[in-house]
Amino acid sequence: MQKFDTLTGVAAPLPMINIDTDMIIPKQYLKTIKRTGLGKGLFSELRYNADGSENPDFVLNKPAYRDAQILVAGDNFGCGSSREHAPWALLDKGIRCVISTSFADIFYNNCFKNGILPIVVSPEDHAKLMDDAERGANARLTVDLEAQEIRGPDGGVVRFDIDPFRKRCLLEGLDDIGLTMQKADRISGFEAKLAAERPWA
């Protein structure tokens, strides 16, 4: 998993509330178990017209936001089904951080397991960050995980809380497999001891 320490990039405003995982990545894209290639399906029902052409009014199709790495979204982001394809699609499109006032629990947990930082902020701070994001490509945000700060283009700072264990995992790029592999020597030692004590097993 890719490490997350400090990210400076364009933030795209998506003020809609209750964006569910089917809106993030519709069901027709769930046939694959690969984590790559899903970016084209991200928000596809919003990004594309019925004929397959781009919807010029959708934020990620606007020139200023095509390469956005941060999403400032409305309340209850990631609700709905528990599909892990949702964070996979965000990551494949280049989005490493989502900021909202609240997240659905399963989506929130899946973000950490895939190298995406979901940040919960107060409604007041969210309004400030949404205002920053709506300024376009010139208003870049800096997300500093170590300091637990979001720095705006005008020098404003928003602090955020995060579980210390999840913070460490993101800073070190550790998913569930990575955490297990940190104990590889102990696992091997246990297996060798078990084989010696119970050769019949």
How far is residue 142's CA from residue 114's CA, in Å, rounded to a whole number? 20
The CA-atom distances, in angstroms, between 81 and each of 17, 33, 45, 71, 104 are 16, 16, 17, 20, 10
Can you tell me the distance from the alpha carbon of 29 to that of 157, in angstroms, rounded to the nearest whole number?
Answer: 38
The residue extents of the domains of the chain are 6-174
Q: Inter-axis angle of helices 105-112 and 164-172, to 10 degrees?
A: 40
The β-bridge relationship of strands 6-14 and 140-144 is antiparallel
Place 190 in a pLDDT band, splitting at 50, 70 and 90. Answer: low
DSSP state, residue 12: E
Q: Looking at the domain that runs over 6-174, which CATH code has it been given?
A: 3.20.19.10
pTM: 0.87
How confident is residue 46, by pLDDT bands cut at 50, 70 and 90?
very high
CA distance 116 to 109: 10
Task: Please list the alpha-helical segments (H only) found in 37-84.
Answer: 44-47
Tens of pLDDT, residues 17-33 = 999 999 999 988 888 77
Decide if pLDDT at 36 tops 90: no
Contact 40, 46 (CB under 8 A): no
Q: Decide which of 73 and 180 is more confident.
A: 73
Cα separation of 11 and 60, whole Å?
Answer: 10
Q: Which ranges in the chain belong to alpha helices (H)?
A: 21-24, 44-47, 85-93, 105-112, 123-133, 164-172, 176-181, 184-197
